[in-house]
Amino acid sequence: MAGSESIPLTSEQDVVFARQTVRRVARQMDFSIVDQTKIVTAASELARNALVYGGGGVLEWETIGENGREGLRLTVSDKGPGIEDLTLAMKDGWTSGKGLGLGLPGAKRLVNDFAITSTPGRGTTVIVTKWK
């Protein structure tokens, strides 16, 4: 299974569609049910962030191969206000009030590779990868 696709995120329905697409791709790639659920949940979190905080964005998925192993890479980007303090954003704290409540540290735990870049005023891009 190989491929890639770009999904616009301009509405709630788009977030749902993106989530369903990632589920379909992960299933086709034969990820375990638990791994499927993890990557799909991460996709949902990031996509919703792009929509709600980033004013809309794009989710790109692509299958990748490296050193004989297969992986699914998601790139979620928006051209929104960006994140001023990335360290704070990566701090845990759903209920404690710490962190920014963007669910980024949580999403990071669901995937294998996690990278985030953000420029205040220009936008945010998050790239995550789940390996089989």
Partner 1 sequence: MERIPILRMGRFLLVTIQIEMDDQIALALQDDLTLQIQKTSARGVLIDISAVETVDSFIGRMIGNISAMSLILDARTVVVGMQPAVAITLVELGLTLPGVRTALNVERGMALLAVLDEQFEVASGGE
Size of interface with partner 1, in residues (CB under 8 A): 26
Q: Does 20 bind partner 1 (CB under 8 A)?
A: yes
Q: Does 67 bind partner 1 (CB under 8 A)?
A: no
Asked whether the beta carbons of 4 and 62 are under 8 A apart, the reply is yes
Least separation in angstroms between CB 99 and partner 1: 10
Using the rule CB under 8 A, which residue among 7, 9, 25, 48 binds partner 1?
A: 48
Q: Does 97 bind partner 1 (CB under 8 A)?
A: no
Closest Cα to residue 73, out of 81, 82, 62?
A: 62
Q: What is the DSSP string of 33-63?
A: HHHHHHHHHHHHHHHHHHHHTTSSEEEEEEE
Nearer to partner 1, 57 or 103 (CB): 103
Using CA atoms, how far residue 115 sits from 19, 68, 76, 111, 127, in Å, is 20, 22, 11, 11, 5
Question: What are φ and ψ of residue 122, in 5° steps?
Answer: -115, -35
Least separation in angstroms between CB 35 and partner 1: 9
Residues in touch with partner 1 (CB under 8 A)? 12-13, 15-16, 19-20, 23, 33-34, 36-38, 40-41, 44-45, 48, 92, 94-95, 103, 105-107, 109-110
